[in-house]
Chains A and B, each alone.
Chain A
Amino acid sequence: MRVTQTLLSDRAMAALRESLGRMAKTQNQLGTGRRINTPSDDPAGHSTATRLTARVATLDQYDRQAAAAQAPLTATNDLLDTLGSLSARAQELAVAGANGGLGAGERAGMATEVNQILEEVVGTGNTSEHGRYLLGGQDTRTAPLNVTRNVNGDITGVTWNPRGVDGTIDATVSDGVTVQTNVGGTAVMGADTDPTFLPTLLIQLRDALTTNNQAGVSAVIDQFQTVTARLSGAQSLVGSQLQTLDRTAAANDTARTAAKAALSAIVDADVAKVAVDLSQQEAIYQAALHAASQAIQPSLLEFLK
């Protein structure tokens, strides 16, 4: 084979170019910490990584939605606690008021307290959290309870928002898992046409106490059982939703850890291995440089005097 200087230097240059190209790729991996920097580095891996990135984003979004659902549920839980203790106090007053030994003056005093409880119940029923009425169903911007008062300012009638207060508001907190973030108004206090509708019951009790109507007071006592049962039903609904939130938060965490681990395994460069590769390639590059300088240098010119 006939070898020329151009051939030698071309070959040396080609070897250097290739060696430098490999080093650039390795250095890029080391610099970015990623094994896949463009789709062509690993088309299938890139596609999987795109999906896993979206998966992690979805799980993060579930967390945000769960956090957003937590607030109204906790507030509703507190609201139900308040209503529970108010109705328990009203029930105590009803039992005491039914006692035959009481006089009109004592019953009138109790009536004042029941009236106070009624105001608090209506106020609690119209609680809003971050501008959303908790018991308003989907109509979260309209106060759910409408109040009618007489000339003395006493409440004489309470009705629900006529558009309805039972629309559910759901939140998706994991794949296929939704929680109900609100409780319908009628599930908490009953329909406003129901005789056991809590405000109606309290008005009835107050009026019976005011008019010193012992029989009227006694008639109310048993109705409180329905009220209590309804409240505890609502509380267990809210409690189970809060439990679902806790459970899915743990499940989402596990899923996220798995997705991130898989993503890292596909995308991240094995830094130790890449660093070793790089120093190997550096050595090869230097050897190629040395060989090129040795091969290109000599010519007959140096030996002709």
Chain B
Amino acid sequence: MSGLFQLIGAGARSMGAAQLAQATVGNNAANASTPGYSRRRVNLVEAPSVKLAGGVFGTGVSAASVVRLRSAFIDSQRRADSQELNYSQAQSRLLDQLDSLLGPTGDNGLGNALNGLFGAFGDLASHPEDAAARQALVGQGQGFADAVRQTRDRLDRMESDAFDTIGIRVAEVNSTAQRLAEINRQTLAGSPDPSLQDEQDRLVDRLGELIGVRATTRSDGTVQVVVDGTGLQLVDGAQTTALSVTGTPTGGTVSLTVGGTTLVNPRGEIGGLAHMRNSSVDGLPAAINTLDSFASGVIAAVNRVHASGSGLTLAQSVTGSVSVANPAATLNSAGLWMTPTSGTLNIGVFDASGNFVSSGSVAVDPSTMSLNSLATAIGALPNTSASVVGGRLVISATNPANRIAFGPDSSDSLVALGVNGFFTGTDAASIQVSSTLQATPDLIAAARANFNASGIGAGDNRNAIALAALGTTRFLAGGTQTPDEALGAFGADIGTWARSASTRTSTQQALLDAADAQLQQESGVNLDEELADMVKYQHAYEASAKYISTVNSMIDSLMGIL
């Protein structure tokens, strides 16, 4: 009699096990496309046997546990691929912006502006007396300066965007790490839970995408996370260490620290952004340096020619556009954007009708002369006075009715101090057409003053020809590149960086796809399998129910005898 009731118990236990298995199948099918979900299986074990008079008999089946099918090895491989993908993707995104900034050839803003500038110098050489040619040159010069400054501005903005994004991602790393520590705490408190384990994996994956990590699962079920390539712990059990970022939005370097230790070569999206932000080889600083040296090279070359020329009219007083912090320091140690050399500077004085008055020259030695002593030496020339006002050199004709003209300057001090220049400014961020020339285009130096009775001819175009000739002169990159060649090389650099970053990205994407496929093979849900299982467990359940009803009718039969 007790044997028969035991049989009902076994049937009921088996029905319960089939029900649990069915619940797991249903959950798997429902989560087939849930990211980070690992398929689960119910471990079915035979229920403990009982020893009866006739021997040992089974008592049905029971569900021992629910386990996730997941491989830690595939996970760590996949994370390594994912952090590298995010690293090169972050670079690729910025470089693509840079790439399209330079845009198609021909419509290239910088290139067109450059051709326009030297074309306008050529037109000035054709029509030195013509006000329209001078006005057009001011416009083209300003167009070139604007294009250079806008490009530089875009680069600066990309730097600050990268910096902002790093900040946002660092905050995300820290909140993700805290969430992971919280789950570790829950894991310590309770029994193994497949959905908590999935959540742990998801959070570690995200940390890997952001900064590149390695994770170890402890025997107690908690996860310890260190920054890849270092021993610096982000999460250990319920403890977290904050990742922090230091730097300025533009310029300087951005550094990332964990618990006071600087990360040398971080990976993931943050690492990729930090590389772009810091690298002077293929990052934004490299592009900014190249653009700056292009701009300062053009400023120096154009101003060098312009400074020694004369306009249709002359000014009574000329002020340098470059200021010196300490006018008493020698010129080669005063921190000028370009250092003057030893040489001779010629200055002449004309009257208001253009008749020659006097001239003189100053021998400049930048290792012994300061701005103050240069001003004194210029002031000693006949009919000339000079002073230093606010760190800038001011040269005037002593008689207010007279005018100042400049002759050859082998010392480059006029260029270095920004005196009588076409451009003001010293780099891509500050380049402008001199505001004096914008206001009075007649001051643009198309001519060269003769320091004798011939004076200055309105039709003299010698200086304008020399300015136009710069367009085809190799004066950049140590005298190896014309301005258009320098722009071409700039484009080629950026194009090469963008190309190699996008190649790296697609390679990493392929690797990650392969790792994803492996993960899917291990942990993905196959609906056909689940449907087959569903049918299987349905039948098991039905069989157990049938068994119970059979045993029940046996009991009925037994009862009928009584």
Chain A interface (Cβ within 8 Å of chain B)?
A: 1-7, 10-11, 14, 32, 34, 36-44, 46-51, 53-55, 57-58, 60-62, 64-65, 68-69, 131-132, 136-142, 162-164, 167, 169-172, 175, 178, 182, 267, 299-301, 304
Closest chain-A Cβ to B305's Cβ sits at a distance in Å of: 14
> Given A10-B520, A40-B502, A300-B532, do A167 and B457 touch, yes or no (CB 8 Å)?
yes
Residues of B with C-beta under 8 A to A42: 495
Q: Are A38 and B468 in contact (CB under 8 A)?
A: no
> Given A39-B494, A54-B115, A170-B465, do A140 and B457 touch, yes or no (CB 8 Å)?
yes
Q: Are B457 and A172 in contact (CB under 8 A)?
A: no
> Given A53-B115, A140-B457, A171-B125, do A4 and B521 touch, yes or no (CB 8 Å)?
yes
Given contacts A40-B494, A49-B106, 8 further A-B contacts (CB under 8 A): A2-B521, A2-B524, A43-B491, A47-B485, A141-B458, A164-B453, A164-B454, A300-B527
Q: Which residue of A lies closest to B108 (CB)?
A: A50
A-B contact pairs, 23 of them (CB 8 A): A2-B521, A2-B524, A4-B520, A4-B527, A7-B521, A10-B520, A37-B103, A40-B494, A40-B502, A43-B495, A46-B102, A46-B488, A46-B495, A61-B118, A61-B471, A64-B122, A131-B129, A136-B459, A137-B459, A141-B459, A172-B465, A178-B465, A182-B459
Q: B71 an interface residue at 8 Å Cβ cutoff?
A: no
Closest chain-B Cβ to A35's Cβ sits at a distance in Å of: 10
Q: Which residue of B lies closest to A60 (CB)?
A: B119
Q: B531 an interface residue at 8 Å Cβ cutoff?
A: yes
Q: B114 an interface residue at 8 Å Cβ cutoff?
A: yes
Residues of B with C-beta under 8 A to A62: 122
Q: Are A163 and B459 in contact (CB under 8 A)?
A: no
CA–CA, A14 and B520, complex, Å: 15
Closest chain-A Cβ to B332's Cβ sits at a distance in Å of: 35
Q: Are A50 and B491 in contact (CB under 8 A)?
A: yes
Q: Are B525 and A4 in contact (CB under 8 A)?
A: yes
Closest chain-B Cβ to A263's Cβ sits at a distance in Å of: 8
CA–CA, A303 and B306, complex, Å: 87
Q: Are A140 and B520 in contact (CB under 8 A)?
A: no
Q: Are B114 and A46 in contact (CB under 8 A)?
A: no
Q: Which residue of A lies closest to B516 (CB)?
A: A10
Cβ-defined partner of B526 (8 Å) among A3, A36, A54, A64: A3
Q: Which residue of A lies closest to B104 (CB)?
A: A37
> Given A5-B526, A50-B111, A69-B126, do A38 and B103 touch, yes or no (CB 8 Å)?
yes
Which residues of B (456-514) have their CB < 8 Å from a CB of A? 457-462, 465, 468-469, 471-472, 482-485, 487-489, 491-496, 498-499, 502, 513
Residues of B with C-beta under 8 A to A65: 122-123, 125-126
CA–CA, A41 and B502, complex, Å: 11
Q: Are B459 and A51 in contact (CB under 8 A)?
A: no
Residues of B with C-beta under 8 A to A131: 129
Residues of B with C-beta under 8 A to A137: 457, 459
Q: Are A38 and B126 in contact (CB under 8 A)?
A: no
CA–CA, A62 and B115, complex, Å: 12
Q: Which residue of B lies closest to A170 (CB)?
A: B465
Q: Are B517 and A43 in contact (CB under 8 A)?
A: no
Cβ-defined partner of A38 (8 Å) among B100, B111, B453, B459: B100
CA–CA, A136 and B455, complex, Å: 13
Q: B33 an interface residue at 8 Å Cβ cutoff?
A: yes
> Given A4-B525, A57-B115, do A36 and B32 touch, yes or no (CB 8 Å)?
no
Q: Are B459 and A58 in contact (CB under 8 A)?
A: no
Task: Scan B316-346; emit 1 where CB is below 8 A from any A CB, else 0.
Answer: 0000000000000000000000000000000
Residues of A with C-beta under 8 A to B216: none
Closest chain-A Cβ to B32's Cβ sits at a distance in Å of: 6
Q: B447 an interface residue at 8 Å Cβ cutoff?
A: yes
Q: Which residue of B lies closest to A133 (CB)?
A: B459
Cβ-defined partner of B517 (8 Å) among A7, A49, A132, A170: A7
Q: Which residue of A lies closest to B95 (CB)?
A: A40
Q: Are A301 and B99 in contact (CB under 8 A)?
A: no
CA–CA, A172 and B466, complex, Å: 10
Q: Are A163 and B126 in contact (CB under 8 A)?
A: no
Q: B105 an interface residue at 8 Å Cβ cutoff?
A: yes
> Given A43-B496, A46-B491, A172-B468, do A38 and B104 touch, yes or no (CB 8 Å)?
yes
Q: Are B114 and A61 in contact (CB under 8 A)?
A: no
Q: Are B492 and A140 in contact (CB under 8 A)?
A: no
Residues of A with C-beta under 8 A to B484: 50-51, 53-55
Q: Which residue of A lies closest to B526 (CB)?
A: A4
CA–CA, A64 and B127, complex, Å: 11
Residues of A with C-beta under 8 A to B465: 170-172, 178
Residues of A with C-beta under 8 A to B454: 138-139, 163-164, 167
Q: B535 an interface residue at 8 Å Cβ cutoff?
A: yes
Closest chain-B Cβ to A256's Cβ sits at a distance in Å of: 14
Residues of B with C-beta under 8 A to A50: 105, 108, 111, 484, 487-488, 491
Closest chain-B Cβ to A287's Cβ sits at a distance in Å of: 20
Residues of B with C-beta under 8 A to A11: 513, 517
> Given A3-B526, A172-B468, do A34 and B126 touch, yes or no (CB 8 Å)?
no
Q: Are B524 and A138 in contact (CB under 8 A)?
A: no
CA–CA, A267 and B107, complex, Å: 12
Q: Which residue of B lies closest to A2 (CB)?
A: B521
Which residues of B (515-557) have their CB < 8 Å from a CB of A? 516-517, 520-522, 524-528, 531-532, 535
